[in-house]
Structure 1
Amino acid sequence: MSLPGVCVVLLLRRGPEGVEVLLGRKHTGLGQGKIVGICGWVDPGEGADEAAVREARREVGVQVEASDLHLAGTVEYHFPTRPAWSQQATVFVCRRWRGDPVESDGMTPRWYVLDAVPYGRMWDDASRWLPGVLRGGTVDARFTFGADLATVVLTAE
């Protein structure tokens, strides 16, 4: 079974206290209220990189070039009790863009020093793969969420 595709874009910059990542509090839809990376659905016939460029502009108002996206891997999310939520994310890291991030209808962005990423306010899987990606690694993982739709009950990497 092929899962619907999404993209995740992690903007990284050097801040006064070290490397920072742009995350945002999601206002609507799946994950509302959680802290997430820039993300969105990949439309039919569209590449994940094209979706990433579109979502960076739509979600936080910055212009990203596809050539500046660095593929960090994929993460599959399985929700057996809510199959419509299951998806496969293509994760990109980006260190170059134009413009300053701004709030949108979709999210309120904020820069976080890598040692202060609020994993307790994110999806349960984030603490299992995001630290490695933020430090230059890659990810190829599958997470299955329990009946509460919030807790990872099975991990495969």
Structure 2
Amino acid sequence: MPYRVCVTYLLRERDGVAQVLLGRKKTGLGVGYHVGLGGKLEPGEAAVEAAVREVAEEAGVTVDPADLDPRGELLYLFPHRESWSQRSSVFVTTRWQGEPAESDELVPAWHDVADLPLDEMWDDARQWLPDVLVGGHVSHEFTFGDDLATVVSDRPLPTS
């Protein structure tokens, strides 16, 4: 059974350019990749609660749960390493308090939404992230190959 995670993308506009905060992972799954802020849900924790906690832990900023805009669900399947399989709730926000700072997990940096570092992100990101950052929603399943890095199949999640 995939474990539950969340990911949050902080969005801002600077000089008319839309930007997103990504962090370069320093430890754990995806080390070296640029990722959104997020992680595992703790027992009994809702995705929104986890998103608020993870943003604070990973970037040192405070987000009000009411300011999180849910943008969908992703299912990541790793048949060659089942322990990596996860279901992720995706959020964006344009409101927070504080200035993003480096943590034990991530080195945060702002990136233009129109010029994402997709070659330095998980392989699936190119297929859904640009659209989500401009207001879209995602409901998708990605299966990774035996290299644990390349998407070998993808499909929309069944509607419930």
With the length of structure 1 as denominator, give the TM-score of the two structures.
0.98
**CA deviation vs aligned residue, 1:108-135 (integer Å, no higher than 9, x gap):** 0000011111000000000001011011
**1:47 Cα shift?**
0.2
In 2, the alpha carbon distance for the partners of 1:20 and 1:92 equals 15
Partners of 2:74 and 2:88 within 8 A in 1: yes
Correspondence for 1:91: 90
Are the equivalent residues in 1 in contact too, given 2:7–2:90 (CA < 8 A)? yes
- Could you report, residue by residue, the CA deviation over 1:6-39 in whole angstroms, capped at 9, with x for unpaired residues? 0000000011251100001000000001010001
Question: Match for residue 146 of structure 1?
Answer: 145
Counterpart of 1:123, as a letter, is W
Tell me the distance in 1 between the aligned counterparts of 2:30 and 2:135: 25
CA distance in structure 2 between the aligned counterparts of 1:151 and 1:128, rounded to whole angstroms: 12
Deviations 1:73-100 (A, max 9, x none): 0010000000000000000000100000
RMSD: 0.7
Query: What's the offset of the Cα at 1:150?
Result: 0.4
Q: Which runs of 5+ in 2 are unaligned?
A: none
The verdict on how the C-alpha distance between 1:17 and 1:116 changes in structure 2, with shifts beyond 3 A counting, is: farther
Equivalent position of 1:81 in the other structure? 80
Equivalent position of 2:56 in the other structure: 57
Do 1:17 and 1:113's aligned partners in 2 also have CA atoms closer than 8 Å? no
Q: 2:47 — aligned with what?
A: 48
**Residues matched between the structures, number:** 156
Q: Which runs of 5+ in 1 are unaligned?
A: none
| Pair 1:118 & 2:117 matched | yes
Distance 1:110 1:60 in 2: 10
The one-letter code sitting in structure 1 at the alignment partner of 2:118 is: Y
Distance 2:14 2:58 in 1: 21
Partner of 2:132: 133
On the 8 A contact 2:39/2:54 being kept in 1, the answer is yes
Residue 21, structure 1, aligned to residue 25, structure 2: no
**How high is the sequence identity, in percent, across the aligned residues?**
51
TM-score by length of 2: 0.96
Most deviating of 136-145 and 8-17: 8-17
